[in-house]
């Protein structure tokens, strides 16, 4: 036994041990001291015998606690005591203390115990669910493996289908060959960094272009390394790399003029054989109004044929109705059926390649799943699109909308309109070519080289142009669509007014001997070598008057690059290293175009522009700003209102410089 006087330890000893109830007893469990919390919770006072309070069956466990606690420390020993007639569970820790035992404990409420039981049950449920999930994952993996196998088999079948449909395969090959990836670097760095980097890039470009003579393969490789390093540094300074989207290639489009009524009549005759004689489906073509179209007739017919074929495939009885009309410059073809219809969730999938929707009942005809996909691609190619509206069990309506005039035909008219305005000093070249795309190619590099293009797609159009204008040379395709040009070539060389005009025959048929016999000055097979054509035309069309170009830039390297870009062209180039010098030269020479740097040593482009605009002699001269400077919004707005164009030195190239000068010359000619 321990004495009551010596039994009570200092209160701070228990504070350091626990914030719960605490008591001191001897090895037999007789309480020598207890704190106030213990008195309230267990309803005991010093002298109480704890084993007497043990719940039935738990007394041995309690005595074992006293026995072990008298010799060493014991933690988390759970016991049950009868308190006020109710069993209470406590968690005790015990250790020896001056011949007695200190017990520090806390109550374990029944709710806590029930929560533990519930947690245990929940854990069992989680384990059960986990086993089920694992089993489902195995099943899903098995199905995935099966799907992969089926996909592989379908891919092989797909290859077989492609082999059977050579037309679609050829079309896909054309699209794949036409696909290309463009990249463009957008720069926005300080003027101090840009100028030397752009000078390096410009100089290497001049070397690689071979303006000072051809380079060896090793020299080209070394220059390429220098240029690549300069571009890497530019990217590092800019900290911005922008990859352009991959552009889809376009198949060839053969634009022709035709009447809508003729198209409908041919479609009616083409599509009626698709119906069996005993069919329960009627194919109805509504009468169309009078309208002219200028697009690819074959592709329009192909789209409508696919839509009607698709409608017949999914229509068991009733009708398929086709209506065509032109309104507001748009051709609209509607194909409506009374078939099984399409669920909303499947509307987009029907246009996917090899996409087929399962139907009930199954359709009578199986296809490749490419018809609608191909139709949408063709519609895009012709500048339009296809929409669908459908309701299961009530049929579908496919609507094709296309420009009545194909964009390519519109561009050709714009080319003809541009040809009406000739830049000062530009020699006219009559191009007789029926291929629109080839005509655009001719215009691009002939105009860039300083020539004026007169386009003619037929012999009659060429004769009409020759009646009012004498070109410096004629580029002639000897095999035009629907007519041969041999007689026209002979006519040119017989007529006194045109016999001395150089004629360059460019065609796909190797008939050089005949062309030479009829008087052709040159004969080349397509595709034409651009440099060869330009060199020959420059020899044949030398001009005595060249447009004057003034370059104002305080950086000698930049002036040199611009001068080299314009070398060999029909330009008279002058230079100025300061703003005042440039203004003085502009007043003296009155150039046709001024290329102006934004930041000069003594003034900015705004100062130079103010000087030029204040003088009637220089007020109308077009100004092109060529700079490395970054502008704020206000500067950009002001420059665009006072100049013809703003070009970054980073993107400056021979083609860009010449094109912008030509645009400015053409505009000044129209204004004057």
Q: What's the burial of 659, exposed, middle or buried (CB within 10 Å: 0-12/13-18/19+)?
A: middle
In the predicted structure, residue 374 carries a pLDDT above the cut 60: yes
pLDDT tens, residue by residue, 303-325: 888 888 888 888 888 898 999 99
Q: Which of 310, 321, 323 shows the shortest CA–CA distance to 274?
A: 310
Spatial separation of the C-alpha atoms in residues 338 and 46, rounded to whole Å: 98
Question: What one-character-per-residue DSSP string does 526-547 give?
Answer: SSP-HHHHHHHHHHHT--S---
Pairwise CA distance, residues 25 & 104, whole Å: 11
Nearest to 448 by CA among 659, 668, 661: 659
- Phi/psi of residue 352, nearest 5 degrees: -80, 150
At 97, is the secondary structure helix, strand, or coil?
strand
The pLDDT tens digits of the residues spanning 505-525 come to 888 878 888 888 888 888 888
Task: Identify the weakest region by mean pLDDT among 74-88, 96-110, 176-190.
Answer: 176-190
Specify the 3-state DSSP secondary structure of 645. strand
Q: What is the pLDDT of residue 183?
A: 38
Better-predicted residue by pLDDT, 289 or 82: 82
pLDDT winner (highest mean) among 329-333, 393-397, 457-461: 329-333
pLDDT value at residue 399: 92
Query: Tens digit of pLDDT for each residue in 593-616?
Result: 999 988 888 788 889 999 998 888
Could you count the other beta carbons within 10 Å of the beta carbon of residue 416? 16
3-state secondary structure of 492: helix
Q: Are 383 and 176 in contact (CB under 8 A)?
A: no
CATH top-level class for 548-671?
A: alpha beta
The two three-digit tokens of residue 407, written as one number: 């964009």
Examine the pLDDT at 276 and tell me if it is beyond 90: no
- Confidence tier at 24 by pLDDT (50, 70, 90): very high
Q: pLDDT at position 167, please?
A: 61
The single-letter DSSP state of residue 493 is H
> In the prediction, which pLDDT does 668 show?
61
Average pLDDT (560-567) is 84
> What pLDDT was estimated at residue 188?
39
Q: What mean pLDDT comes out for the span 377-400?
A: 86
Region 536-558 average pLDDT = 77
Residue 178 has pLDDT above 80, yes or no: no
104 vs 69: CA distance, rounded Å:
11
Percentage of the chain lying above the pLDDT 90 cut:
7
CA distance 414 to 297: 22
Q: Is the pLDDT of residue 90 over 70?
A: yes
pLDDT in tens, 411-423: 777 777 777 777 6
* Structure tokens belonging to residue 308: 């009607």
Q: Is residue 656's pLDDT more than 50? A: yes
CATH of 4-108, one of 3.40.50.10470, 2.40.50.140, 3.40.50.300, 3.30.450.20: 3.30.450.20
For 182, the token pair is 């463009």
pLDDT band for 96, please (50, 70, 90 cuts): very high
Other beta carbons less than 10 A from residue 637's beta carbon: 11
Q: Is the pLDDT of residue 27 over 80?
A: yes
624-641 pLDDT tens trace: 988 887 777 888 888 888
Residue 185 — pLDDT band, cuts 50, 70, 90? very low
Residue 247 has pLDDT above 80, yes or no: no
- Token representation of residue 286: 């509504």
Cα(602)–Cα(264) distance, integer angstroms: 71
Q: Give the closest residue to 223 by CA, choosing from 237, 212, 239, 235.
A: 212
Q: What is the pLDDT of residues 490-503, one digit of tens each?
A: 888 888 778 878 89
Query: Would you list the domain boundaries of the chain?
Result: 4-108, 113-164, 165-253, 256-329+342-380, 426-540, 548-671
Least confident range from 22-26, 449-453, 666-670: namely 666-670
> Given this model, what pLDDT does residue 12 score?
41
- Are 595 and 626 in contact by the 8 Å Cβ rule? The answer is yes
- pLDDT of residue 234 exceeding 80, the answer is no
Return d(Cα 168, Cα 174) in angstroms, integer.
10
Dihedral of the CA atoms 140, 141, 146, 148 (nearest 10)? 120
Handedness of CA 573, 578, 581, 584 (dihedral sign): positive
**Quick check: 13 pLDDT over 50?**
no
- Of the CATH numbers 3.40.50.150, 3.40.30.10, 3.30.565.10, 2.60.40.1180, which one belongs to the domain with range 256-329+342-380? 3.30.565.10
> Can you tell me the distance from the alpha carbon of 629 to that of 42, in angstroms, rounded to the nearest whole number?
87
CATH 3.30.1780.10 is right for the domain spanning 426-540: no
Selection from 125, 48, 112 nearest residue 81 by Cα: 48
pLDDT-based confidence at 335, cuts 50/70/90?
Answer: very high
Describe the chain by its helix, strand, coil percentages, rounded to 5. Answer: 45, 20, 30
The position carrying tokens 């496919």 is 398
353 vs 520, higher pLDDT: 520
Would you say the CATH fold of 548-671 matches that of 256-329+342-380? no
Q: Is the pLDDT of residue 23 over 70?
A: yes
Given a cut of 50, whether residue 543 has pLDDT beyond it is: no
* 535 Cβ contact partners less than 8 Å away, ≥ 6 residues apart: none
- Whole-number pLDDT of residue 184: 38
Give the pLDDT confidence score for residue 357 in this predicted structure: 57
Q: What is the pLDDT of residue 111?
A: 44
Query: Which residues fall within 8 angstroms of residue 142, CB to CB, at 6 or more apart?
Result: none
CB 644, CB 668: distance < 8 Å: no
């Amino acid at each position: 036994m321990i004495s009551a006087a010596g039994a009570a330890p200092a209160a701070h000893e228990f504070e350091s041990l626990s914030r719960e109830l605490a008591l001191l007893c001897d090895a037999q469990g007789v309480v020598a001291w207890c704190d106030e919390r213990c008195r309230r919770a267990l309803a005991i006072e010093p002298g109480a015998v704890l084993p007497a309070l043990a719940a039935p069956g738990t007394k041995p466990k309690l005595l074992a606690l006293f026995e072990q606690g008298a010799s060493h420390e014991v933690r988390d020993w759970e016991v049950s005591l009868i308190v006020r007639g109710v069993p209470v569970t406590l968690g005790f820790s015990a250790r020896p203390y001056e011949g007695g035992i200190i017990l520090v404990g806390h109550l374990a409420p029944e709710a806590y115990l029930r929560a533990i039981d519930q947690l245990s049950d929940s854990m069992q449920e989680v384990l059960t669910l986990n086993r089920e999930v694992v089993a489902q994952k195995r099943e899903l993996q098995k199905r995935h493996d099966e799907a992969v196998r089926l996909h592989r088999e379908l891919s092989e079948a797909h290859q077989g289908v492609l082999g059977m449909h050579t037309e679609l395969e050829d079309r896909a090959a054309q699209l794949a060959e036409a696909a290309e990836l463009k990249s463009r670097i957008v720069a926005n760095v300080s003027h101090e960094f840009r100028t030397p980097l752009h000078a390096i890039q410009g100089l290497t470009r001049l070397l690689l272009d071979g303006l000072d003579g051809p380079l060896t393969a090793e020299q080209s490789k070394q220059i390429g390394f220098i240029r690549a390093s300069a571009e890497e540094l530019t990217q590092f300074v800019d900290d911005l790399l922008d990859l352009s989207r991959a552009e889809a290639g376009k198949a060839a489009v053969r634009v022709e003029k035709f009447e809508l009524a003729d198209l409908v009549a041919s479609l009616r005759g083409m599509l009626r054989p698709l119906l069996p004689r005993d069919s329960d489906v009627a194919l109805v073509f509504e009468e169309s109004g009078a309208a002219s179209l200028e697009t690819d007739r074959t592709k329009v017919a192909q789209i409508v044929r696919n839509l009607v074929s698709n409608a017949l495939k999914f229509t068991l009885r009733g009708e398929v109705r086709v209506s065509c009309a032109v309104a507001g410059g748009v051709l609209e073809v509607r194909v409506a059926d009374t078939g099984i219809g399409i669920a909303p969730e499947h509307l987009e999938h029907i246009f996917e390649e090899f996409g087929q929707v399962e139907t009930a009942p199954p359709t009578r005809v199986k296809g490749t799943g490419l018809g609608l996909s191909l139709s949408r691609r063709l519609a895009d190619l012709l500048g339009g699109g296809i929409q669908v509206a459908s309701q299961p069990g009530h049929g579908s309506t496919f609507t094709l909308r296309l420009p009545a005039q194909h964009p390519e035909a519109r561009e050709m008219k714009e080319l003809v309109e541009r040809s009406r305005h000739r830049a000062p000093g530009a020699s006219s070249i009559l191009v007789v070519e029926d291929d629109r795309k080839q005509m655009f190619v001719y215009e691009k590099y002939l105009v860039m080289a300083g020539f004026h293009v007169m386009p003619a797609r037929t012999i009659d159009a060429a004769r009409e142009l020759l009646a009012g204008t004498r070109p410096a040379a004629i580029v002639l395709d000897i095999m035009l669509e629907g007519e041969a040009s041999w007689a026209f070539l002979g006519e040119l060389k017989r007529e006194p007014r045109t016999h001395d005009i150089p004629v360059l025959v460019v065609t796909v048929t190797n008939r050089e001997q005949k062309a030479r016999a009829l008087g052709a000055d040159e004969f080349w097979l397509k595709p034409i070598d651009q440099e060869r054509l330009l060199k020959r035309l420059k020899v044949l069309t030398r001009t005595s008057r060249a447009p004057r170009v003034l370059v104002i830039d305080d950086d000698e390297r930049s002036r040199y690059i611009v001068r080299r870009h314009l070398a060999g062209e029909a330009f008279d180039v002058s230079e100025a290293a300061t703003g005042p010098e440039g203004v003085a030269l502009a007043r003296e020479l009155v150039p046709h175009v001024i290329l102006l740097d934004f930041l000069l040593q003594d003034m900015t482009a705004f100062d130079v522009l103010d000087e030029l605009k204040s003088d009637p002699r220089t007020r109308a001269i077009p100004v092109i700003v060529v700079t490395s400077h970054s502008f704020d919004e206000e500067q950009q707005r002001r420059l665009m209102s006072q100049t013809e164009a703003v070009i970054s030195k980073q993107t400056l190239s021979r083609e860009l410089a010449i094109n912008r000068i030509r645009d400015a010359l053409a505009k000044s000619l129209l204004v004057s």
